[in-house]
Amino acid sequence: MIKLDSNLKPIPPRNWNRGIQKMNLSSEIDKIISEMKRDVRDKILDRGYFEDFAHNIDTKNQPDFFGSGISLFIERDEEREGRAFLGIAVLHPEAKMDAANYLMNGDRETILKYMQDPQFKDKLQEKIQKLSDSLKM
């Protein structure tokens, strides 16, 4: 439906992105995987405290994706020293909620090995799509 203002000029729909290129979600996922691998190597300690960290993708300009952002994150395992959870979250486009899931738990080397698996990106994209679909309900 096209809305008209008082001068009877068409007002574009809210999600019409003039001049904004559709982002390549696959290449953005490649970037956050690469950044996450670097940070896993540098930030997860064998002993002692380390901070949680995440890498995010803004998906507002992705018209065929339901969600306003994707986050690949690391959370420290409070129960076991030197271990962390690798997870993925998709932010709802309008509400202040997200759908998240842990992908695995392990030490630095185990997480890196998991992320270097050739099937990791495909599994990640599948999980992102499932989380995105779960937000539509």
**pLDDT tens profile 9-50:** 554 555 544 444 455 788 889 999 999 999 999 998 888 888
Per-residue model confidence (pLDDT) at position 4: 46
Per-residue model confidence (pLDDT) at position 121: 94
The DSSP result for 57-97, as a single string, is EE-TT-TTS-SSEEEEEEEE-SSSTTEEEEEEEEE-SSSS-
Which positions ≥6 away from 42 have C-beta within 8 Å? none
**pLDDT tens profile 56-88:** 988 877 767 788 889 999 999 998 988 999 999
Alpha-carbon span 7 to 59, nearest angstrom: 33
Per-residue model confidence (pLDDT) at position 110: 95
